[in-house]
Amino acid sequence: MKSKVCLVLAMAFFAAFAAGNAITINTPSSNQTIPLGQTISLDYNSDFNMVTSSASVIFNNNWSQRLELYSVYMNSSPKMRYSTKVNTEGWPAGPVRIDVTGLRHENGVYSSGSAAINLVIAPSDYSTDLNSAARVVRSIPQTVYPGGYAIFSLLIFPNKPFPGLIVRENFKNSGMKYDAMNVSSWGNGTEATANSMPDLNFLKIVLRSPQNIGMLALQYFVRIPEDAEPGTILELDGNWSVEGEEGLTIGDKSTKIGGFKMPDCPLSDQVLLQYITKWSKMEIANNELLQVVQKWKGC
């Protein structure tokens, strides 16, 4: 009898632990058909404060075609909800699965929750240039946070065989720092060498493989300055080269500085109620609302 009680208690403990790391994807709907080139509104919430949120995509139900879309570290403003845009420009048509993950950090212990959704990317009037040597598609989170970092991805879809590729990223905002890292190529031997020029807001990365370059996601860190002003739009563009051919990088071209900005006095009752509404929708964290309440009391 005692062993049964212990087993029940253990099961209850693990069930509670699992329930405490749940993530729910609100949009898009499961099995939704997305026309190629359309932007997906990806919105999800958790029952815990996420310090890091990330997403990846699997094409054609093939785990060897799994590419990381982005990862964003929210620093001192963990969120229970994250919304972003996922650009399908340049993707191959067919079934896809999007996985989202949130990382929790409490009392020195890390744990995570995840969720997945299946979609279909349908051919459309959007033109995917299959005559060019490659398609290079930038995938970045819609919102980044002061004092945190984000991982930007360049999704590379070869249309022809080539052993070498150079990609260039140009940031149009000053004060950004970035480092190339974490190239994923699933065993085809691709190596990367980065030439980072932060003073010029410019990053150049050389990819090479003796077996020709396959589908892969090239990732690099972007460090967000502590004093970055919420609401600022960070813009970037880029291009790529293989031997005898060049092209423009497509996909995402900007991200927005998020985070909490304390309202100025006078702070009316109606403004306070607006912040409470944002808090109820998990758009601001509990500690951020408490700061607004304290400011309201002192105005």
pLDDT digits (tens, 9 = 90+) for 145-201: 887 788 888 889 999 999 999 999 988 876 666 665 555 544 456 777 777 666 667
pTM of the model: 0.74
Q: What is the DSSP string of 237-264?
A: EEEEEETTEEEE-EE--EEEE-S--PPP
Q: What's the pLDDT at 8? A: 35
Residue 263 lies inside a defined structural domain of this protein: no
Residue 262 lies inside a defined structural domain of this protein: no
Averaged pLDDT for residues 82-86: 91
- 31 and 135 in a single domain? The answer is yes
pLDDT digits (tens, 9 = 90+) for 257-272: 887 677 778 888 998 8
- 53 and 185 in a single domain? The answer is yes
Residue 156 lies inside a defined structural domain of this protein: yes
- 211 and 118 in a single domain? The answer is yes
Q: Enter the tokens of residue 266.
A: 């006078």
Q: Count of domains in the chain? A: 2
- 81 and 217 in a single domain? The answer is yes
- 88 and 169 in a single domain? The answer is yes
- 150 and 24 in a single domain? The answer is yes
- 273 and 171 in a single domain? The answer is no
Q: What's the pLDDT at 24? A: 94
Among the listed residues 221, 193, 191, the one whose alpha carbon sits nearest the alpha carbon of residue 205: 193
- 241 and 286 in a single domain? The answer is no
- 75 and 208 in a single domain? The answer is yes
Residue 176 lies inside a defined structural domain of this protein: yes
- CATH number reported for the structural domain that contains residue 21 in this entry: 2.60.40.680
Q: What's the pLDDT at 146? A: 80
- 289 and 250 in a single domain? The answer is no
Compute CA distances 23 → 19, 28, 91, 143, 181, whole Å. 9, 14, 26, 19, 28
Compute CA distances 169 → 72, 199, 219, whole Å. 19, 13, 12
Residue 264 lies inside a defined structural domain of this protein: no
Domain coverage including residue 43:
2-257
Backbone angles phi, psi at 174, to 5 degrees: -80, 165
Q: What's the pLDDT at 4? A: 38
pLDDT digits (tens, 9 = 90+) for 2-54: 443 343 333 333 333 444 688 999 999 999 999 998 999 999 999 888 989 99
> If you average pLDDT over every residue of the chain, what do you get?
81
pLDDT over threshold 60, residue 231: yes
- 274 and 191 in a single domain? The answer is no
